[in-house]
Structures are given as structure tokens and as C-alpha cells.
Amino acid sequence: MSKLFYESGLKFECTQCSKCCRYDPGYVFLSYNDLANLIKYFKISENEVIEKYCRTVDMGEHKRLSLIEKPNYDCIFWDNGGCEIYENRPLQCRSYPFWKPFLLNKEAWELESESCPGMNHGNIVPKEKIEEWLKVRDSEQYILL
Ligand code: SF4
Ligand code: SF4
């Protein structure tokens, strides 16, 4: 088996540039755990969370639930220079950039790093931690409608 390109870990430390939370259109897909966390945090019903903060996205074979954005494409939870729900932010946000497509090979990682100044910056995240994120993401149940 060929050696993983991240065998010795990968450098990542968020610079808090906020690019992944703002400016451009995108999706933050929610899992059942994410939705439950938002219900608990806001102390409102599932329907209210969905109505206030979510949209459905047609992916062809199925629909998924994503957070909505403000008219300027900032995430609905971007507020006063930070994430309003930081401790309860969805797994997609917490696990970035340790997503399977960016870990396929060095080229994929380097390509994504052009969008995120935190990649290849700061302390090394060990292989074990990276694989933990992959495992958590794999076992997470995303909402399919
Ligand atoms: S783009 Fe990267 S460095 Fe910037 S806020 Fe997002 S994770 Fe942090
Ligand atoms: S939920 Fe928070 S961390 Fe995730 S995109 Fe929105 S503002 Fe950024």
C-alpha cells in the first residue's frame, strides 16, 4: 500500500480569516446531530429551526438540508466578527479542512489550501487526528429529504 501523503500529519491552524463563513455562496449541510444541537441551543422546535435557519437543496437523487445565507452570502450565523453558534457549529464546519476529497492526495490538499490560509500553516495535526475526523464524518448521518 502506498504511503499516505499525510503520514506525518498536516499543518493546519485557522487564521480566522472568515473566508469559509462569508462572502461566497455555499452550503453547510446538516446532520441529524447538527439539527439536534441547534434545537437545544436555540430552545425552539425542529420546525422553527428549519424555518428560520435552513433551506433544502436539490441534489438530484435526494434533497439535503443546509443553513441559509444572508443576502451578501455570509452564513446566517456569522455575526459581529464571529460564529454565533461556535460551540454548536455543524460538523461540516468543525471538521474542515479534514474532508475526504481534500485528503485524497497532496494535489487535492494543495488546491484547497488556495482557499484557506490556515492550511499548511501553524501546528501539525497528526495523522491520528485527521483519521479521527474522517471516521466521525463517515459515521455521521446527514439529513436526506
Ligand atoms: S478559510 Fe481556513 S483559515 Fe479562514 S476561517 Fe476558514 S478555516 Fe479558518
Ligand atoms: S455555522 Fe458558523 S462556522 Fe459554520 S459557516 Fe456558519 S458562521 Fe461559519
pLDDT in tens, 67-110: 999 999 999 999 988 999 999 999 999 999 999 999 999 999 99
**Of all atoms in ligand 1, which is nearest to the CA of residue 118?**
3
Backbone angles phi, psi at 51, to 5 degrees: -65, -40
Is 92 near ligand 2, meaning CB less than 6 Å away? Answer: no
Judged on CB neighbours under 10 Å (0-12, 13-18, 19+), 108 is: middle
- Ligand 1 mean position, distance from CA 17 (Å): 5
Q: What is the DSSP letter of 76?
A: T
Backbone angles phi, psi at 98, to 5 degrees: -90, 60
- Ligand 1 mean position, distance from CA 48 (Å): 29
pLDDT for 80 equals 83
If you average pLDDT over residues 108-125, what whole number do you get?
98
Q: Look up residue 144 and give its three cell numbers.
A: 436526506
pTM: 0.95
**Of all atoms in ligand 2, which is nearest to the CA of residue 89?**
1
